[in-house]
Structure 1
Amino acid sequence: MARTSTLLSLILIFCFVSNEAIGQLVAKDSVYFTSKRKKITIPFKLVHNLVIIPVQINDSQPLNFILDSGVKNTLITRLHYSDSLSLNQADKITIQGLGVGSEIHALYSSGNTMQLPGIRGDNHQVYVLMEDVFNLSTRMGMSVHGIIGYDIFRNFIVKINYSSKTLTLYRPDIELKVPKRGEVYPLQIENTKAYVEAGVKQHNGDSIKVKLVIDTGASHSVSLYLPTDDRLQLPPKVMEAYLGRGLSGDINGKIGRINSFMLGRYEIQDLPASYPDEESIKAAINLANRNGNLGSDILKRFTAIFDYPHQRLILVPNKKYREPFYYNMTGLEISTPLPGANFYIVSHVIEDSPAKLSGLMPGDQLLNINGRDCKELALEEVLELFDTKPGRKVRMKLKRDSKYVNVEMVLQSRI
């Protein structure tokens, strides 16, 4: 079921603007195994459908990075007071991406080392945001320091087992056998991004072929860009939604259900699709003739093998394959001002939602949910209590200013 209450998606596209540092982006790094092993397996944390792996930059302690196939460059979004990181000579540049807003400033540094367990990268390029525009740590309930993507996918065959929460990296010259229940799809690698052809069946029965960028850094199921194909239509029942954050600002749009999503012989039915506003995605509309992106709320229903060296994707369905898709059944969004401390605050309440009708307000602190103390619940457990089937009653004890408030609401699907 979709865990999209507080972090809906990350859609990051870099467009470098100004500064002489642009001319320096010529050296390519080298990422390789530090031993003669054929594969390395790394445990990861799965939060909001996103894969979090430990990465060291130069002499840093292991930092938490999102593994995002939609991102070209290694990006440090925030360092906390207890973190230390030394970078080689850094130049200030301006970068721009998706979202409605202005350019943002970053530091560009080359000649760094990057390390994962058993993996090393030399002459690594790193971008450090001057402002924490994503607020990943407060939205994900743990310290998140950055995002890494293409440097991993282009140098290895990458297997993400969402069930066991393990990331396995294979040498690129290995030709993996396709598992018995697996299916192979051709990948189109264009300008560091991988695309796959799929199909969507709309509410009117039309089936449309779409070209989607594969985005492990998007926590939603699928995003469709209406301006790219006249046949794409909004479902009859949609809701206005905050879809996530791009480098250049917020991404807003609508959410509605499509009849099904088809990928080869697999057909996933009755799932929510995101339809971002044209202004929010103007930087991506004309890129590679894409019609949208394929996110992790679909990918997590498979073991996914990203084989960039052989330009193919292999998917093997797992036990979550047939789980229903639920989308924000409460109408509230949660933040964690003290990441890792199980301290939860209502950050936003949607109009006419169950949360709004029950009297919840931004700033309310969650103390107890259905008799369970929130101090003993990780963020994913809190969201799981909220995003179950429609009609379920949820009882909460809140702290509002210095008063204690008890509320009850009934979960409801609004799409």
Structure 2
Amino acid sequence: MIKSSITFLCILFFCGPSISQSGFRLDQTKRSKIKFELIDNLIIIPVEINGAQFSFILDSGVSKPILFNIVNSSDSLKFKNVESIYLRGLGDGASTIALKSSKNNFRIGAAINENQDVFILSDETINFTPRLGIPVHGIIGYDLFKDFIVEINYGSKFIRLNDPKIYKYKQCRRCESLNLTLYNNKPFIDAMVEVKGERVPVKLLMDSGGSDALWLFENDSLGLVPEDGFYFMDFLGKGLSGSVHGKRSKLKRFSINDFHISNLNVTYPDSAAVSFARKYKARSGSMGGELLKRFNIIMDYPNTKVSFKKNKHFKAPFEYNKSGIVLEQDGVRIVKEREQLGQFNPNQSKEELSRLTVVAAYKFTLKPAFRIVELRPGSPAERAGLMLGDIILTINNKETHSLKLQEVNTFFRGEAGKRIKLKINRDDVIMNFLFKLESLL
């Protein structure tokens, strides 16, 4: 199931010089296999910090681990050696104050690091859990990749950490290997795109922390601009420094050596939101999760190379949100559910069972509430009368409290012309709306 980029986590940090650390090592094993969840094209892995369990995004676009959404866990973590520092991420806002803590114990699978730096964000508004619909407490990237040869199997949803001293590559005729450029501890590759009939070489950040397929920075001299009339303005995601907006369009072709992908989604983010990201002058954009997940990948930082192999997702179509609605899981709501109560005894006779009285009863439970937090101007949903703050109760006659957030979002990525029927709660008034999905590309 292809995920759209509506909850794109565009996170890129610029910190001061890092302190030398002992790094991760494998605990009495040569490799470690770790299963992950793939939510909106993002890899979610379990991470243990100072004995406490968390869920992290594996984000190759960050240089240091970031911890957030820990209001109920901070006391038990017992952070040491804490100092204040400023972080800058993608978005149109200002820098963010964080606490830097050193000498923390990290464990990821069989990999351990007893001297790990971590940046802690206390701002409760910086929380990506609502956009993903599952608990997420942080992100980690370079500090894990630098110490291992990391296999990312998007097809079977696991990563494998390998000791680079003993790792041996298998011969693979169906693989493409490229040199990896590390700049500010972030991985870049060279690729080729076709825009307006012209082939343009590009240097892209391999960004496993981004949901979109491809970001390109607009550049008139290189021809990296969307075709006139063949794009629409949209909300792209949320970073540490605020929201990111930009132009969504289509790209005729994207190539990694002899691997070619046609008719893919491309996004041109607003230049102000990515001003820090463009400080690396050679950079043309980012290759995100919707592209990366079409391959099984071997990330080899120690030898500065990367290998790609097509997987079952390679030919999957590229989809995007055609409703204009962006949802968050905003707390919970009380749901009244019917249940059947009866005094049943398996030893009763048929006659006795026929006289069994079934009593209708109800129970009240807490279920997730899905609230509209972004609404694209002029979209089908906005024209139908939906508003920010509306809570969706049913979608096409299905109770949303029985669905996950990503399952609800799937309805909005259907084919153009598909009817969407919503029942919503607006200030305790129940209302019904009907609209059709529209393709803008």
For normalisation by structure 1, the TM-score amounts to 0.92
Indicate the percent of aligned positions where both proteins have the same amino acid: 34
* Deviation of 1:128 (Å): 0.5
Query: Which letter maps to 1:389?
Result: E
What whole-Å deviation, never above 9, does each CA across 1:46-70 have from its counterpart, x for those lacking one? 111100111111122x101100000
What whole-Å deviation, never above 9, does each CA across 1:5-35 have from its counterpart, x for those lacking one? 641232313144xxxxx6xx43223201111
Distance 2:198 2:125 in 1: 39
Corresponding residue for 1:195?
Answer: 188
Corresponding residue for 2:126?
Answer: 134
* Deviation of 1:96 (Å): 2.1
SS in 2 for 1:151: helix
> Aligned ranges for residues 102-141 of structure 1 at < 5 Å?
102-141=94-133
> Aligned ranges for residues 131-280 of structure 1 at < 5 Å?
131-173=123-165, 174-202=167-195, 204-227=196-219, 229-236=221-228, 237-280=230-273
Distance 2:219 2:198 in 1: 17
227-236 vs 402-411, which moves further: 227-236
Query: Which letter maps to 1:317?
Result: K
Query: Which letter maps to 1:110?
Result: S
Change (3 A) 1:6 1:278: closer
Distance 2:373 2:3 in 1: 16
Indicate if the aligned counterparts of 2:9 and 2:209 stay in contact, CA closer than 8 A. yes
Corresponding residue for 2:275?
Answer: 282
Distance 2:89 2:417 in 1: 40
Indicate if the aligned counterparts of 2:5 and 2:212 stay in contact, CA closer than 8 A. no
Distance 1:163 1:132 in 2: 34
Are 1:10 and 2:47 matched, yes or no? no
* Deviation of 1:365 (Å): 1.4
> Aligned ranges for residues 14-413 of structure 1 at < 5 Å?
14-16=14-16, 25-35=18-28, 37-60=29-52, 62-81=53-72, 84-173=76-165, 174-202=167-195, 204-227=196-219, 229-236=221-228, 237-287=230-280, 289-338=282-331, 341-413=367-439
What whole-Å deviation, never above 9, does each CA across 1:148-171 have from its counterpart, x for those lacking one? 000111111111222221111111
What whole-Å deviation, never above 9, does each CA across 1:280-329 have from its counterpart, x for those lacking one? 22212131511111101001111122122222211121222111111111
Change (3 A) 1:43 1:96: same
Change (3 A) 1:129 1:228: farther
Change (3 A) 1:133 1:157: farther
* Deviation of 1:133 (Å): 4.7
What whole-Å deviation, never above 9, does each CA across 1:364-391 have from its counterpart, x for those lacking one? 2112222322112112211222212222
SS in 1 for 2:279: coil
What whole-Å deviation, never above 9, does each CA across 1:307-365 have from its counterpart, x for those lacking one? 22222211121222111111111110000012895321111211211111222221221
Distance 1:315 1:352 in 2: 40
Indicate if the aligned counterparts of 2:91 and 2:243 stay in contact, CA closer than 8 A. yes
Change (3 A) 1:69 1:229: farther
What whole-Å deviation, never above 9, does each CA across 1:224-266 have from its counterpart, x for those lacking one? 1114854212222221222223333332221111111111111
291-300 vs 226-235, which moves further: 226-235
Distance 1:312 1:342 in 2: 43
Corresponding residue for 1:414?
Answer: 440
SS in 2 for 1:361: coil
- Which protein shows a greater Rg? 2
* Deviation of 1:275 (Å): 1.0
Distance 2:406 2:255 in 1: 28
- Unaligned segments of structure 1, at least 5 residues: 17-21
Query: Which letter maps to 1:32?
Result: R
What whole-Å deviation, never above 9, does each CA across 1:102-149 have from its counterpart, x for those lacking one? 221110111111111211012100101131453201111111111100
Change (3 A) 1:178 1:87: farther
Change (3 A) 1:380 1:186: same
What whole-Å deviation, never above 9, does each CA across 1:169-212 have from its counterpart, x for those lacking one? 1111212214443221221122211111111111x211100000
Query: Which letter maps to 2:439?
Result: S
SS in 2 for 1:298: helix
* Deviation of 1:269 (Å): 1.3
SS in 1 for 2:48: strand
| Higher relative contact order structure (alpha carbons within 8 Å, sequence separation ≥ 6) | 1
For normalisation by structure 2, the TM-score amounts to 0.87
**How many residue pairs are counted as aligned between the two chains?**
405
Change (3 A) 1:216 1:229: farther
Q: CA RMSD in A?
A: 2.0
Indicate if the aligned counterparts of 1:114 and 1:122 stay in contact, CA closer than 8 A. yes
